[in-house]
Structure 1
Amino acid sequence: MPRKPPGVKAKGLGARLRVCREEAGLSLREASEAVDWDKSTLSRLETGKRNVNADEVAQLLGVFRVRGQVKKEIMALARTLEEPGWWDQGTEGLPKESVTLAEYEDMATRITDWAPLLIPGLLQTPDYLRAWLLSSGSNPAGIDARIAMRAKRQQILRTPLTYVAYLGEAALRTLVGDAATLARQLATLREVGRRDNVSIRVVPSNAGPHAGQLGSFMTLEFPSAPPVVLVELLRSSIFMDEQRQTEPYFATLPRLADVAMSETESARLITHLQTRLKDHGGAGSLG
């Protein structure tokens, strides 16, 4: 049976093995020769581009003289490397990027969304998502499956994960679906924003120029793997994990924090907009 393509678990395992090698004082070439591997094989493993089985990991840990609790943790990760997650089942017909993102989200300890024009996926209600998918030209036949998967992904917000969302004011005011759909979406933002592990902050339209104006993105941070940045395009997504690629996005986050309203101010604005929608029943009241 062919190995499952490497995912974020492989990146995490590779990063930990690289640290063990460096602490053992071995170069990539020396470690490769010790286990009779090509240098490129070990390099691909350490960068998460190649899966590895438990026997191979045990061999490496022996060369690196890793013992005790560290060895137990790494071996446990190696043994579960190819275990399927919920995203591996029943996802036929869904975009490949959605399945990859679900795996990344499951492993992340911190996720930050910057969404200047559209409520981000982890916060979207089913009606809001359906209205947006229909308006964007998605195949109606696949919409129910995408909504179901989105609901599963959103369960991550009920775990100890830290989630921060910076929302552009325009995302709160733009009518997606009808006024009732947007009102329910705003109510959901208020509800989810009350959770201890969730922070929702609004970047006002009059905040002035800032780096985030170039477009939306998501950052995902992991306990033992390089961080990942997701940039969504019209019909695909780009995942970046090299430091030279991800660094500018992480550098943008403090600037967004500087211009964003506080959580309290943001919640007050969201409630105000929701109330106006309910009272007046139209997008014009949000102008």
Structure 2
Amino acid sequence: MPRKSPGAKAKGLGARLRSCRENAGLNLRDAAEAIDWDKSMLSRLETGKRNMSVEEVAQLLGVYRVRGQQRDDLLAIARAMDEPGWWEQSVPELPAGLATLADFESEAVRIADWAPLLIPGLLQTSAFSRAWLGSVGVAESVIDSRVRARARRQRILAGEVQYVAYVGEAALHTAVGGGVTAAAQLAHLREVSRWPNVSVRIVPIGSVPPRAQLGAFIALEFADSPTVVHVELVRSSVFMDEDRQTDPYIGTLTAVDSVALSETESAGLITRYQARWKDSAQRIELA
């Protein structure tokens, strides 16, 4: 099996190895020369842009004179680098971008989602996901696997990750799959918003800050590595982790947070839209 692309574990391990190097009083050049590496190679490893083998980690720890439990812990992380995630075991055909996102989500301690026009994927029902994927031209042959993958990704919300979804009111207007599906989706959104680690905040129409009108994105925070921002494009995904790249998105979240309704106000608005879609579906059935 080919080595996986670097993900959250690589970033976390790289950050800890950088700390070990600095504690040893070595700069990048000295550390790289000690193991006959190029300085750029070590830099990529420390920033999580390159996977690393157990042997490479052990070599670095030797140079840094790291011993005991700390050494054992870091080597254990290195050994786990190539262990397949759930997405590789159950949905091997998942596109690379979504697989990388699933990897980051599984390691994040906090996730902030800005979704101005559509219910976020982590909060979608299977029926809503299926209808949406079909409406945007995803091949019927892969819709089932995509829906399964999205449902599996949502299991992280049952864990300890703190998740906040800023949802544009326009998304509540969207009757993906028809009134019945829309009403069921909003009922689910209302239910999940009651979970202690989940916050759903609606941004009213007309209140979306100009800087937030450029589109949806996800910001993922980790315990020991830089924040990653994910932007989904039509046929690809972009991941950013440098401050100069992520700072504008963090600023956008701050702007969105300042105009979003409270959780209580958001719940009330969701309930009203749910009732509207339910009533609309019933009238269509009676027609």
Query: TM-score, normalized by length of structure 2?
Result: 0.93
> Counterpart in 2 of 1:168?
168
> Counterpart in 1 of 2:144?
144
Name the aligned partner's letter for residue 242 of structure 1: E
> Quick check: 1:14–1:46 contact (8 Å CA) kept in 2?
yes
Task: State how many pairs are aligned.
Answer: 284
- Identical columns (%): 61
Name the aligned partner's letter for residue 119 of structure 1: I
User: Partner of 1:50: helix, strand, or coil?
Assistant: coil
> Counterpart in 2 of 1:43?
43
> Counterpart in 2 of 1:195?
195
> Quick check: 1:199–1:263 contact (8 Å CA) kept in 2?
yes
Name the aligned partner's letter for residue 108 of structure 2: A
List aligned pairs for 1:59-74, cutoff 5 A: 59-74=59-74
Deviations 1:99-154 (A, max 9, x none): 11111111111111000000010001111111111111111111011001111100
User: Partner of 2:272: helix, strand, or coil?
Assistant: helix
> Counterpart in 2 of 1:247?
247
> Counterpart in 1 of 2:234?
234
- For residues 205 and 215 of structure 2, the distance between their equivalents in structure 1, rounded to whole angstroms, comes to 14
> Quick check: 2:209–2:256 contact (8 Å CA) kept in 1?
no
- Identify unmatched segments of 5+ residues in structure 1: none
- For residues 277 and 11 of structure 1, the distance between their equivalents in structure 2, rounded to whole angstroms, comes to 44
> Counterpart in 2 of 1:20?
20
Query: How far has the Cα of 1:254 moved from its partner?
Result: 1.3
Query: How far has the Cα of 1:2 moved from its partner?
Result: 5.2
- For residues 282 and 167 of structure 1, the distance between their equivalents in structure 2, rounded to whole angstroms, comes to 26
- Judged with a 3 Å threshold, the aligned counterparts in structure 2 of structure 1 residues 87 and 66 are, in CA distance, closer, same or farther, namely same
> Counterpart in 2 of 1:158?
158
> Quick check: 1:125–1:185 contact (8 Å CA) kept in 2?
yes
Query: How far has the Cα of 1:259 moved from its partner?
Result: 0.2
Greater Cα shift, 92-101 or 122-131: 92-101
> Quick check: 1:210–1:256 contact (8 Å CA) kept in 2?
no
- Judged with a 3 Å threshold, the aligned counterparts in structure 2 of structure 1 residues 80 and 164 are, in CA distance, closer, same or farther, namely same
> Counterpart in 1 of 2:180?
180
User: Partner of 2:213: helix, strand, or coil?
Assistant: helix
> Counterpart in 1 of 2:32?
32
Query: How far has the Cα of 1:251 moved from its partner?
Result: 1.3
- For residues 69 and 263 of structure 1, the distance between their equivalents in structure 2, rounded to whole angstroms, comes to 43
- Judged with a 3 Å threshold, the aligned counterparts in structure 2 of structure 1 residues 246 and 208 are, in CA distance, closer, same or farther, namely closer
> Quick check: 1:116–1:169 contact (8 Å CA) kept in 2?
yes
Query: TM-score, normalized by length of structure 1?
Result: 0.93
* Runs of 4+ off more than 6 Å: none
Query: How far has the Cα of 1:6 moved from its partner?
Result: 2.5
Query: How far has the Cα of 1:73 moved from its partner?
Result: 2.7
> Counterpart in 1 of 2:263?
263
- For residues 148 and 273 of structure 1, the distance between their equivalents in structure 2, rounded to whole angstroms, comes to 27
> Quick check: 1:13–1:46 contact (8 Å CA) kept in 2?
yes
- For residues 94 and 32 of structure 1, the distance between their equivalents in structure 2, rounded to whole angstroms, comes to 36
Root mean square deviation of aligned Cα: 1.9
Greater Cα shift, 93-102 or 258-267: 93-102
> Quick check: 2:208–2:256 contact (8 Å CA) kept in 1?
no
> Counterpart in 2 of 1:120?
120
- Identify unmatched segments of 5+ residues in structure 2: none
User: Partner of 2:167: helix, strand, or coil?
Assistant: strand
- For residues 206 and 4 of structure 1, the distance between their equivalents in structure 2, rounded to whole angstroms, comes to 43
> Quick check: 1:91–1:99 contact (8 Å CA) kept in 2?
no
- Judged with a 3 Å threshold, the aligned counterparts in structure 2 of structure 1 residues 209 and 220 are, in CA distance, closer, same or farther, namely closer
